[in-house]
Amino acid sequence: MRVLGVDPGLTRCGVAVVDGGTGHRATLVHVGVVRTAVDDEPGVRLAQVHAAVEALVAEHRPDVVAVERVFAQHNVRSVMGTAQAAGIVMLVAAQAGVRLAMHTPSEVKAAVTGSGRADKDQVGTMVARILGLAEAPRPADASDAVALALCQLWRGRATSRLTAAAHAAGAAQAARPARPAVVAPRSRPR
């Protein structure tokens, strides 16, 4: 099984492709970070995340895309960018007809380290150990993406509730040319 793990973010979006399965050692195929400039408009930044994740899906052809489930943070601005980036990843998976799985941060930490309260250094250390790497992928967003992919390999039952028909509809939609959205004109108050 091949999993594309995505740690969503608008400034840094960690991405990793991992192969593995029952009785097979997990192998790192690709790891990196999609970066966007904070000075760019949000729409431009989301388009960059979309293009990068779409290219990864086309190149690596994952069986599943695993994305971190967004949770409430104290910094609303930060959580908005994270949620928007996660939505873009979900869109790319649906358009490509690839299964989607979502995992909470504590679920990922528990899968990789044995503790849902592990810190980023512990996650990175275990990712390196599991994959036989000399050191953890950097920055932490990349290491977190690998951990997401590993979590999906080991806890794969948590795939989305999308049916095969929904995946087929997403693939069919991706094959059709895009149509601009129709927006009804607003009447002006007199």
Q: Which residues are catalytic?
A: 7, 68, 141
DSSP readout, 34-93?
EE--TTS-HHHHHHHHHHHHHHHHHHH--SEEEEEPP---S-HHHHHHHHHHHHHHHHHH
Compute the half-sphere exposure of residue 27: CA atoms within 13 Å on the CB side of its CA: 9
The CA distance from 127 to 144, in Å, is 9
* Short-list 113, 114, 122, 115, CA closest to 140: 122
